[in-house]
């Protein structure tokens, strides 16, 4: 696991500048979702938001532009350097604080964030037990009744169906040390293909993981741009509370 985790950090350091160019604006799917679901509704201005796997800081800036204070954390130093430059040029540099750190061991106090964004990051963590540890850390830093928005890539999307069908049948005859759903996806930087680890989820697996972390699941759905017929992402809104569980699809 450590080797794969190191490879993820190295990969995102390598693609930092390219990533920033191609992911300059907040993710439109995310922006529409949080608006439709009123994810930030009822929060007081100056509420504290955590952006886990903040990358180039685009969603931390989004939160700050909405009037909130944001903390962005990422494992890749070069991405944080890019984020720092981007935030400096924004209208809200005083509202965002950046930290280098690992989501498996967040260097943060218990119960200090009212909302948390965990966008397209959980699927870069190898091994189910480590992904569960990430979610327990997310839960730990949220206040009571705090909410997290967690997004992951969906396994059964057209681009990857062929790969996973072959992988499924291979496993019938040959044991694998990798989990079903693991894949490497390339990112082009010049003439080089930088390989990034992903674990792609079925809805059932994603739901089970969230339940194992003892979250209250308010919503889980497939999301993407309107023009995309087979949605490529799962979005989940989860809550830390002792109230009865409810799921909206």
The residue whose two tokens read 């792609």 is: 200
**β-pairing verdict for 142-153 and 113-119:** parallel
Domains (range + CATH), the chain: 2-239 (3.40.50.150)
Integer Cα distance of 14 and 27 in angstroms: 21
Per the prediction, the chain carries an average pLDDT of 95
Q: What is the pTM of this model?
A: 0.94
pLDDT > 50? residue 244: no
Q: Facing residues of 237 across strands?
A: 149, 219
- Residue 186: burial class (beta carbons within 10 Å; 0-12, 13-18, 19+): exposed
- Cα Rg, the chain, nearest whole Å: 18
117-137 pLDDT, tens digit each: 999 999 999 999 999 999 999
pLDDT band at 176 (very low <50, low <70, confident <90, very high): confident
pLDDT at 78: 98
pLDDT at 177: 81
Q: Which residues of 5-39 are buried (b: 16+ CB within 10 A; e: fewer)?
A: bebbbebbbbbbeebbeeeeebbebbeebbeebeb
- Residue 223: burial class (beta carbons within 10 Å; 0-12, 13-18, 19+): middle
55-98 pLDDT, tens digit each: 999 999 999 999 999 999 999 999 999 999 999 999 999 999 99
């Amino acid at each position: 696991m450590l080797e794969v985790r190191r490879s993820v950090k190295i990969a995102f350091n390598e693609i930092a500048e390219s990533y920033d160019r191609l992911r300059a604006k907040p993710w439109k799917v995310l922006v529409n979702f949080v608006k439709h679901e009123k994810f930030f509704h009822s929060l007081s201005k100056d509420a504290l938001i955590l952006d886990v796997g903040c990358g180039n800081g685009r969603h931390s800036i989004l939160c700050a532009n909405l009037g909130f204070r944001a903390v962005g954390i990422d494992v890749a130093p070069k991405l944080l350097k890019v984020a720092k430059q981007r935030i400096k040029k924004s209208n809200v540099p005083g509202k965002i604080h950046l930290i280098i750190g690992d989501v498996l061991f967040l260097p943060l106090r218990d119960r200090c964030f009212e909302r948390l964004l965990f966008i397209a990051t959980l699927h870069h963590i190898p091994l189910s037990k480590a992904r569960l540890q990430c979610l327990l850390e997310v839960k730990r830093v949220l206040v009571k009744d705090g909410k997290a928005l967690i997004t992951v890539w969906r396994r059964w999307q057209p681009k990857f169906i062929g790969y996973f069908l072959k992988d499924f049948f291979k496993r019938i005859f040959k044991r694998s040390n990798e989990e079903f759903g693991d894949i490497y996806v390339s990112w082009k930087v010049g003439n080089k293909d930088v390989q990034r680890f992903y674990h792609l989820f079925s809805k059932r697996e994603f739901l089970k993981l969230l339940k194992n972390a003892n979250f209250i699941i308010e919503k889980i759905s497939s999301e993407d741009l309107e023009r995309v017929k087979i949605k490529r992402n799962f979005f989940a809104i989860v809550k830390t509370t002792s109230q009865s569980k409810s799921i909206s699809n």
